[in-house]
A = this chain, B = another copy of it.
Amino acid sequence: MKAIIQRVTTASVTAGEEQISSIGRGLCVLFGISVADTQKDVDYMVRKILNLRVFEDENGRAWSHSVMDRELEVLCVSQFTLQCILKGNKPDFHSAMPAEQAQPFYNNILEQLRQAYKPELIKDGQFGAYMQVHIQNDGPVTIQLESPTGPTDPRLLSKQEKQQQRKEKTRSKGPSESSREKGASRRSKADPGASSGAEGDVSSEREP
């Protein structure tokens, strides 16, 4: 899973004339859910988003406090285009989780965020709708996160994977054995209108 976290002074979502939601100071998070994502990725993202130190403390010391420390708000928006692979200059979105699975998966992220923090401080867009996301990026401060099973941060990846493996060994008798295998088999070619946001006309081209 990928997430683009923007520290905001205010942010809001509108669909047509309707304002869906809005926040004051806090974080606007765009989530790109991949076909390979599992509960592990959700756990990681929820923890990081809530604990990431991107705010100053009471003495003005930067990078000291998290959104939770400051009791600020979080506006979440699903954004399948983050799972983009370029075919030349054309975005291809086959690695994005198809909408029918991504919607409950995304709702679960929101639920976990609400449980770990305060439900009333976690706001949401409208899954799959064509929206305008109004972001007043404060700083600007933009952090790009990738959950441990994502492919892009090599230095942290091996470390995290080991930690994760240790954790999983401990957990492995539990009910949530929805391993990566299961997630991966969900990967389908035939789901164009899939996922949230924008026109949903995802490219159907796929490299062999």
Residues 121-136 (chain A) with a chain B CB within 8 angstroms:
130-136
Interface presence of A149 (CB below 8 A) = no
A201 to B197 Cα, complex, angstroms:
35
A134 to B85 Cα, complex, angstroms:
27
A145 to B4 Cα, complex, angstroms:
12
A157 to B86 Cα, complex, angstroms:
11
Contact with B along A107-147 (1 / 0, CB 8 A): 00000000000000000000000111111111111111110
A66 to B75 Cα, complex, angstroms:
29
In the assembled complex, the CB of A91 is this many whole angstroms from the nearest CB of chain B, namely 6
Interface presence of A1 (CB below 8 A) = no
Residues 78-96 (chain A) with a chain B CB within 8 angstroms:
79, 81-82, 84-86, 89-91
Interface presence of A184 (CB below 8 A) = no
Most buried by B among A89, A138, A145: A89
Give the total of A residues in contact with B, Cβ under 8 Å: 58
A82 and B139 contact, CB distance less than 8 A: no
B140 and A84 contact, CB distance less than 8 A: no
A138 to B198 Cα, complex, angstroms:
7
Residue on B with the closest CB to A203? B63
A80 to B10 Cα, complex, angstroms:
21
Q: A89 contacts which chain B residues (CB < 8 A)?
A: 48, 51-53, 66
A201 and B132 contact, CB distance less than 8 A: no
B139 and A136 contact, CB distance less than 8 A: no
B154 and A81 contact, CB distance less than 8 A: no
Residue on B with the closest CB to A91? B63
In the assembled complex, the CB of A64 is this many whole angstroms from the nearest CB of chain B, namely 8
A82 and B143 contact, CB distance less than 8 A: yes
Closest A-B pairs by Cβ, 3 of them: A139-B198, A62-B201, A62-B199
